[in-house]
Structure 1
Amino acid sequence: MTSPEPEFLMICVAPNGARKVKSDHPAIPLTAAEMAEGAVRWRDAGACMLHLHVRDAEGGHILDAGLYRESMAAVRSTVGDDLILQITTEAVGRYTAPEQMAVVRAVEPEAVSLAVRELIPDADHEAAGEAFLRELYERECLVQYILYSGEDLDRMRDLRRRGVIPGNRMHVLFVLGRYTRNQESDPRDVLPFVERWDAARDGLWSVCAFGRREAACVLTAVGLGGHARVGFENNLHRADGSLAADNADLVAQVAQGGRLLGRRPATAAQARDMLRLFR
């Protein structure tokens, strides 16, 4: 079950991800300067949050506290507090759970996304995961838990029931299409998640989707009371199939669709107020 649709729609922009480079699209931001320059357009298009990946000198994915601080400072220099800056801990097969936790502790970000299956993959990781998540909770870090499947959802609920994950209500991201053929999402992929999620009891939920039906997928979620993450991390095309000029194109079309569904794009200040209630 879901609660009635909230008035505001949080749109998070994911402008680069861990893998795409300039050969995929010339507007993929890879440097702190490019991230700062793009942040103005993404905010103006309707985003309230920036899902931040940083890259090494060769353009590869890296979890590095210094590079995170550099990129965050650059973005703050252009948009101030107008975007919530959410760092990623994505492993991409390179980083262990202790390494993921170490970078978050070093950066002390306002917000972070954590994949349950990476951070606490089994019982042996529960004690360290519980201590880490308690630190974030007490520091009032805005944590978003990434869920790829119904099994992930069941495991998160079990961890919460046993106190490994603190707090009464979560902010989660349902990832659509990560393990489907050619990573092409379908709007129907959201249904198995939302049928098992009660926003009033469980917390806020957002959706991201792989492939050219990204907008259709996230707007289906918006119509059901969820929130959206869009950007070049998962998709390079507008809803009409044409190549997007920039991440702002993808944000703007979701903002427009949200308004048609009675959901106004949230500012960063409004999003902060919402997220602090669901932790």
Structure 2
Amino acid sequence: MATILITGSSDGIGRHTAEILAAAGHRVTLHARNERRAEDAQKAVPDAAGVLVGDLASLAQTRELADRAVAAGPFDVVIHNAGIGGGQRAPEITEDGLERIFQVNTVAPYLLTALMPVPARLIYLTSGLESAGRARLDDAQWRARPWDGMQAYSDSKLYDVMLAFAVAQRRPGTLSNAVDPGWIRTRLGGPQATDDLPEGAETQVWLATSDEPAATVTGHYFKRRTSLRANPQAYDEGLRDRLLDLCAELTGVALPG
């Protein structure tokens, strides 16, 4: 039995992943951004060990979430599933003065990774749109460029792959990988999406629990249990280091290792 934390697991892919893992007998801890969603999550996955609350659009709440995770752990696996889409017509600035997509999708998983004990396996959810991402680390907050919500989302998903690869390099004892779940019919994916929830969860479940040689690798980008080539920028060690430096500057917390 593995102990597993899944961020953003009050609905969608995260909740379905939790349902599968809990039904298989694993000790699964959920995460929701507020108390109301936490109650909904616990009702939806009654076999879950509990729900941790914290809004990833707040650095203070993300730090508190990390503290709660430390108290609830240790975890064998952390699945960084939480994320928001790019449909905004204008950039939304959080209480920390950061662009919201970048903060929730990239800075928050970075901060949780930096503050929590190192698990055996780390899984970062990305998107096929990472292929269109551009590592504009000189303007990650979209202060100098005309706003493009979908490009901001694509960039953040590229950064998630870069983060997974950077952690794989810095923490060789941890299996750290990125997963494209596909275009899944969820609130985020929308009704026009082509794939169902089981397809969106299968690779994370496999990477979290399987001892197959294909699943016990690190620094890979997966879709449908297949290791694929990611955006070429994700393999640029210098760019990855710049991303880590930027996140450390914004959070005040360096990634150990």
**TM-score computed with the length of structure 1 as normaliser:** 0.35
**TM-score computed with the length of structure 2 as normaliser:** 0.37
- Structure number with the higher strand fraction is 1
